[in-house]
Chains A and B, each alone.
Chain A
Amino acid sequence: MEKKNLKHDDCRNFAAVDAAKGICRKSNTMIFTDTETCEQLVSIPKCKNCSHFIDENKDRIGTCAGLEKNSWTYGELLAVTCEGYHSNK
């Protein structure tokens, strides 16, 4: 995935505080979510990064085929706790 499409909340080192900002654990500073990310970005599990996420539509909604029963899901859903997550990298 190109860096230009990433936000800080795509990074494992970002502790989201609210819908607009969060704490960068590397710099220990408050940063805005939608500003440019840095080279230290570590990809956080999200459905969009999972190999079981298929058929994504214009609203970034697709299908999860990684759990017992298939269901719709959305690319931005955090998958840190998902037992079926499998990185597509």
Chain B
Amino acid sequence: MRNGEKIMEILSQKGLPGKNHKEGGMTQREVKKEPKERTKYLRDIYYDTLSTSNVEFPYWYTRKWNELDGEISVIRRAEALKCAFSHLTPTIYPKEKLVMQKTNYYRGSFPMPWLSEGFFVAKEDELYQEALNRGSASADELSKFGTGGGNVTQSFGKVVSIAGKFGMRQEEIPVLTKLSREWVGKSVEDLGHKYEQMVPNYQIKENIMKTLICMFDSGYTLPQGREVINYYYPLQYGFDQIIEMAEECKQAVAGNAGGDGITGMDRLYFYEAVKLVVEGMQNWILNYAKEAERLSKETEEDKQKKEYEEIADCLKWIAHHQPRTFREALQMIYTLHIAVLNEDAISGLSPGRVGQVLYPWFEQDMEAGKITEEEVLELLELYRVKMTCIDCFASTGVVGGVLSGNTFNNLSLGGLTKEGNSAANRLEMLILEAGMTCESTQPTLSILYDEKLPEEFLLKGIECNKTGVGYPAWMNNQIGVQFLMGQYGEEGMDLKEARSIAIGGCLETSPCCWKELTLNGKTYSIPGGAGQPTSVGVHFIANPKILELVLTNGYDHRTNIQVYPPHNKALKSYEELWETFQDYYRITCDCLAKTNNIQHDVWRKNNMSVINSFMKPDCLDKGLHIGNMGYRYNATYNIESCGTANMVNSLAAIKKLVYEEKKYTLEALKEAMLNNFGFQNAEETGSYSMKDQVKLEGTTAFDDIYNDCVKAPKYGNDDPYADSILKAYEDWFCEMTHDFESLFGKKMYPCQISVSTHGAQGRATLASPDGRLSGTTYADGSVSAYPGTDKYGPYALFNSATVWDHAKSQNSQMNMKIHPSAVAGFEGSRKLLDLTRAYLRKGGFHIQYNIVDSKVLKDAQQKPENYRDLMVRVAGFTQYWCEIGRPIQDEVIARTEYEGV
């Protein structure tokens, strides 16, 4: 091996997959549509908008909270929320039809210091220094934001960059610091930290966080999310009736335990809290109505004046009543959505099966001639713009390292009705059309694939895929239903209920239910969320990193921390190695599950959801909020993994080279890994892709072992050698997770997606025995092949991916990149649908496509200014290319590009 060469050239010389992208000019996407003029105007504003945070909401929240010292917690929280919502400044932009947003900025968000206050205070502040000493700071160090789009990565003028993404007006910084100080010792982060230290082996947890074996604590960063919202109660009853119901319920339960000596008396306070937050939301909506009326008076142009009047009429009605029209219903669900997002730090609040939820209004308006499909399409486009403007304020490690700035508002389509028939409808066709005419990241779309779905609907989804936007993703409805019945059967889930399935977040199968909605005397069954968040639990465990520490006797060479107790085993057999890996994994899950349970317990005691709670069955019926298990389904806490393909490939290499062929000792392999097989570190090369890694001058000692590691069997080639290791892992992992218990006393379960953690966790991982080099990004997803290692086409990959039962896991994740020429024309569409069907019929749970020429992505990396609107599918979500960090950009470019399907 010659020195100073890039790895792809080296691999190509040895007959291994090297340069895997077609030569020649760039191939553009086949399908390209344009939005309505109004949508284009508003989307163009988005393209030029900086992600902006302010402190208006936290100011009013904190002021009211402080006034109510000593009050019952849920009442104190509801009063604080009401005060904050009531004081949000309304801004309505010209040409908008759908209005309201999280703050008075177009793409606004705000910190919630009652959750976590440490990371956004000034760097020189002692609080920040204290925060740095906590394990959670490691994720921030190793996470990268994209430098383009709306990310404010550096301060300028009177705009201060916070957490590497959010811009804040300079004059608000002292206020932010003051607010954060008021929550020191009281936030979920601080109180959780105080009590989680009482967990035995707490220091191991800190070590795990510092070494990035685990990506983040869910209890104070994103305590809710990856769930499906439920809009039913406001859509059915309107806010005034909900307040009336809350008042009636208060009278029924006041002073009455109802046979429940623990939470029975809490019902009174919950119903009062519901009344308070609904009043706050009404004030918020009516403040926007007033603003619309003011603008109408100020505006001279007739059309715009009339539109402001229409906005005011719509808002004044939905502030009190059940919506009358499709437009009012759409405005209401959007308003409810951002209300929940303002209540708590949430990523992955999915709107669910919106096309089925809103169908009653669509059907009746169309029949009555009140609206046309073109008008519906425009409203759906505007909905996409508003949803894309949603930002979530969190630390660099969470927003950058995990989320890539995305908020995962996943809209599900298709699936089955309660009775088991196709649930796809005409409105869903228009939702897909809007996804093409208004390309934007939110809401991302997912089709719940079932054999009963009509061909026309499926081909519409394929047409949308061919726009290159990365959506819809394809989920296996039957596998999802099986998972739900297995996980939630003990809580009463049956087949009919399971058919209400929707995806929460990227691709989290979420428990839902049906509710009967009545509109103008006609009754409809509509699906909606009925379960706790699934973003909670142990997130994310770096599988290759744990294997690395097995080989290093529990010692992390990057940070010089003894993470786990030394196992001091000789690891004389593959079985002993595998058992030691399992032992370290269990230690990891045990301390993380317990400490996160404590964080979430603090959250539910002081920071419980009231708005999201009252909207989801069966909190209003039971009189119990989320923390008191008011939801119908509560067994949602999970254990998430990352880097499965690299772990499997590494185990395959060790098994073959060390234990079977005995060509190298484990010690020699470890030595090679510690020396990065004689290559520069990714930090030195400035790239996190294998293709750019550079050999060190004068180092040849590890050439042979590296060659053999690269050539060892790899997952994704229908090779039983590697695939059997995947199966053994999955059979163990899926069962092992059940041994851990959430704070609600429910068994946990596996969740297998990577989001963006494969970038940051790859950076924290040494070279691995599969030949992956130090600091480079892991394979994405959970059943995607490591880039360039799947050499026998997609069907071989499908065989490898489905050696285990995907219904045992909340999900599995398969990302595939296809060159546009491979699916050109109608014939190409049929091929892509056949490919999708083939995988799902084999039992795969999920597949998603990037239909893009890799040369376009490379060009975009060089000239981001030319690609503001370019979107790619990462791992469960679509994101603007320019807002993604370099490690993930490199990984998407490196993915194997299929030139034929």
Question: Taking the nearest CB of chain A, how far is it from the CB of B493, in angstroms?
Answer: 43
A77: interface (CB < 8 Å)? yes
- Any chain A CB within 8 A of the CB of B425? no
Most B Cβ at <10 Å: residue of A20, A60, A71, A76 = A20
Closest chain A CB from B131 CB (angstroms): 22
CA distance A75 to B66 in the complex (A): 20
Cβ contact of A61, chosen from B66, B91, B106, B178, cutoff 8 A: B178
B169 and A19 form a contact (CB under 8 A): yes
Residues of A within 8 A of B105 (CB): 16-19
> 15 extra interchain contacts, Cβ-Cβ under 8 A, other than A19-B50, A19-B152?
A15-B94, A16-B104, A16-B105, A17-B105, A18-B51, A19-B52, A19-B54, A20-B156, A23-B94, A28-B94, A59-B175, A74-B59, A77-B59, A78-B56, A80-B287
Q: A17-B45, A20-B50, A80-B89 are in contact. Are A73 and B106 (CB under 8 A)?
A: no
What are the interface flags for B122-158 relative to A under an 8 Å C-beta threshold, 1 for contact and 0 otherwise?
Answer: 0000000000000000000000000000101000111
| 26 A-B contacts (beta carbon < 8 Å) | A13-B298, A16-B91, A16-B105, A18-B52, A18-B105, A18-B106, A18-B150, A19-B167, A20-B50, A20-B156, A20-B159, A20-B167, A25-B94, A30-B48, A33-B158, A59-B174, A59-B175, A61-B178, A71-B67, A73-B63, A76-B172, A77-B59, A78-B56, A80-B89, A81-B90, A82-B87
> Can you name the residue of chain B whose Cβ is closest to the Cβ of A42?
B298
* The residue from B59, B89, B90, B157 contacting A73, defined by CB atoms under 8 A apart: B59
Task: Tell which of A13, A15, A20, A81 has the most Cβ of chain B within 10 Å.
Answer: A81
CA–CA, A73 and B51, complex, Å = 24
The answer to whether B71 has its CB under 8 Å from any CB of chain A is no
How many inter-chain contacts with C-beta < 8 Å in the A-B complex? 86
**Partner among A69, A76, A78 whose Cβ is within 8 Å of the Cβ of B67:** A69
Nearest CB of B to A20, in Å: 5
Residue A25 contacts which of B50, B90, B172, B298 (CB distance < 8 angstroms)?
Answer: B298
Given contacts A20-B157, A76-B171, A81-B87, contact A15 B93 (CB under 8 A): yes
Contacting B at CB under 8 A, from A31-89, are: 33-34, 59-61, 69, 71-78, 80-82
Smallest CB-CB separation from A26: which chain B residue?
B298
Question: Are B49 and A78 in contact (CB-based, < 8 A)?
Answer: no
Contact A74 B67 (CB under 8 A): no
- Determine if B431 is an interface residue (Cβ-Cβ < 8 Å): no
Chain B residues, CB < 8 A from A20: 50, 156-157, 159, 167
- Complex Cα distance, B93 from A75, in Å, reads 25
Contact A78 B104 (CB under 8 A): yes
What residues of B have a CB within 8 angstroms of the CB of A82 in the complex?
87
Say yes or no for B77: interface residue by CB 8 A criterion. Answer: no
A residues with a Cβ closer than 8 A to B are 13, 15-20, 23, 25, 28, 30, 33-34, 59-61, 69, 71-78, 80-82
Provide the residues of chain B in CB contact with A74, threshold 8 Å: 59, 171-172, 174-175
Scan residues 262-302 of chain B and give those whose CB is less than 8 A from a CB of chain A: 287, 295, 298
Q: Which residues of A contact B48 (CB under 8 A)?
A: 30
Q: Once bound together, how far apart are the Cα atoms of A34 and B87, in whole Å?
A: 25
Measured between beta carbons, the chain B residues less than 8 angstroms from A15 are: 91-94
Q: Please, which residues of chain A bring their CB within 8 A of the CB of B895?
A: none
Q: Which residues of B contact A (CB under 8 A)?
A: 45, 48-52, 54, 56, 59, 63, 66-67, 86-94, 104-107, 150, 152, 156-159, 167-169, 171-172, 174-175, 178, 287, 295, 298
Given contacts A17-B106, A18-B107, contact A81 B88 (CB under 8 A): yes
Residue from A13, A16, A23, A60 within 8 A of B171 (CB atoms):
A60
Kindly report which residue of chain A lies nearest to residue B283, judged by CB atoms.
A81
Contact partners of A16 in chain B: CB under 8 A: 91, 104-106
Name A57's closest neighbour in chain B (CB-CB): B174
Question: Nearest residue in B to A20 (C-beta to C-beta)?
Answer: B159
B169: A residues at CB distance < 8 A: 19, 76
Instruction: List, in ascending order, chain B residues with CB within 8 A of A33's CB.
Output: 158
CA distance A16 to B67 in the complex (A): 30
Give bound CA distance, A20 to B48, whole Å: 11
Across the interface, which residues of A come within 8 angstroms of B59, CB to CB?
73-74, 77
Asked if A34 contacts B86 (CB within 8 A), the reply is: no
Task: Quote the shortest CB–CB distance from B148 to chain A (angstroms).
Answer: 15
Specify which chain B residues have a CB less than 8 angstroms from the CB of A81 in the assembled complex.
86-90, 287
From A19, A59, A82, name the one whose CB has the most chain B CB atoms within 10 angstroms: A19
Please give me the 6 A-B residue pairs with the lowest Cβ-Cβ distance, nearest first: A59-B174, A19-B167, A18-B50, A18-B52, A19-B52, A78-B89
Is B175 a contact partner of A61 (Cβ separation < 8 A)?
yes
Q: Contact at A60–B152, with CB atoms within 8 Å?
A: no
Task: Tell me the smallest distance from the CB of A45 to a CB of chain B, in Å.
Answer: 9
What are the residues of chain B within 8 A of A60 when measuring CB–CB? 171, 174
Docked-complex contact B49 and A72, CB < 8 angstroms: no
- How many angstroms between the C-alpha atoms of A13 and B50 in the bound complex? 20
Q: How far is the CA of A20 from the CA of B49 in the complex (A)?
A: 9
What is the bound-complex CA distance between A73 and B63, given in angstroms? Answer: 9
Among residues of A, the one whose C-beta sits closest to the C-beta of B51 is A18
